[in-house]
Chains A and B, each alone.
Chain A
């Protein structure tokens, strides 16, 4: 059982470039999330989705976009990358909205130079 899979694991971008972080889960979870984690900081919610076709902004959505065309996939798009987007990005999923158990992917380390 793969759980939550993220790609790529590492990426270096130049300022102004765009890219998509891929996330897929095979647990049939309706709820999916994108977080970023900066050193010494807690995980910050970027976007979340409660099901296919439904997405909403989290705490720090600026500079990002998401889509949820299927239950399995929840890609995160970075437009016009900036150094402030250098971070570790985690995708996660959960069975329902009130559970405290999130299943995380292994993370994607992004550096913007």
Chain B
């Protein structure tokens, strides 16, 4: 079983709609969680951290469910520029801080 699993998608989303997707992790020692965005043939870039209480950054909302060991990302009012692959990243205390990357969820926003 992979340590970090994501639905690869693609999630095809009409412009202006809302899309949400999850990422599950298997290591109960996981402590820190992040979402990265990766555009086609580009490097990953940090989108946002995921806090225990949930957090928003503009149209993006991240949630953490420790009991079920998953995090989620919700994008409201989707823009064409939101088309990208979203990588889930987990940091565990038993691996000094090495980041575990999910394979990513592809989102395609259509006009």
Show the binding face of A for B, using Cβ within 8 Å: 35, 40-43, 45, 48, 58, 90, 97-98, 100-102, 104-107
Extra A-B contacts (19), CB below 8 Å, given A43-B101, A100-B46: A35-B101, A40-B8, A42-B87, A42-B101, A43-B44, A43-B87, A45-B98, A58-B98, A97-B97, A98-B97, A100-B89, A100-B99, A101-B46, A102-B46, A102-B99, A106-B42, A106-B43, A107-B41, A107-B42
Taken together as a complex, chains A and B put the C-alpha atoms of A45 and B92 apart, in Å, by 15
* Complex-state Cα separation, A107 to B39, whole angstroms: 12
Count class of interface residues, chain B = 20 to 34
B103 at the interface (CB under 8 A from A): yes
B45 adjacent to chain A (CB < 8 Å): yes
Q: Which residues 24-76 of B have a CB within 8 angstroms of A?
A: 32-34, 41-46, 49
Return A111 CB to nearest CB of chain B, in Å: 14
Q: A98-B32, A100-B32 are in contact. Are A42 and B43 (CB under 8 A)?
A: no
Q: Are A42 and B100 in contact (CB under 8 A)?
A: yes
Chain B residues within 8 Å of A, Cβ to Cβ: 2, 4, 8, 32-34, 41-46, 49, 87, 89, 91, 96-104
Closest 7 CB pairs of A and B: A104-B43, A42-B101, A100-B34, A97-B97, A43-B101, A42-B103, A98-B97
| Cβ–Cβ < 8 Å partners of B4 in chain A | 42
Instruction: Contact check, A104 vs B91: say whether CB atoms are below 8 A apart.
Output: no
State which of B43, B46, B87, B89 has its C-beta within 8 Å of the C-beta of A107. B43
Contact present for A41 and B103 (CB under 8 Å): yes
* B104 in contact with A104 (CB, 8 Å): no
Neighbouring A residues of B33 by C-beta, 8 Å: 100
For this complex, 29 residue pairs linking A to B, each with C-beta atoms less than 8 Å apart, are: A35-B101, A40-B8, A40-B103, A42-B2, A42-B4, A42-B87, A42-B100, A42-B101, A42-B102, A42-B103, A43-B44, A58-B98, A97-B97, A98-B91, A98-B97, A100-B32, A100-B33, A100-B34, A100-B89, A100-B91, A100-B99, A102-B44, A102-B99, A104-B43, A104-B44, A106-B42, A106-B43, A107-B42, A107-B43
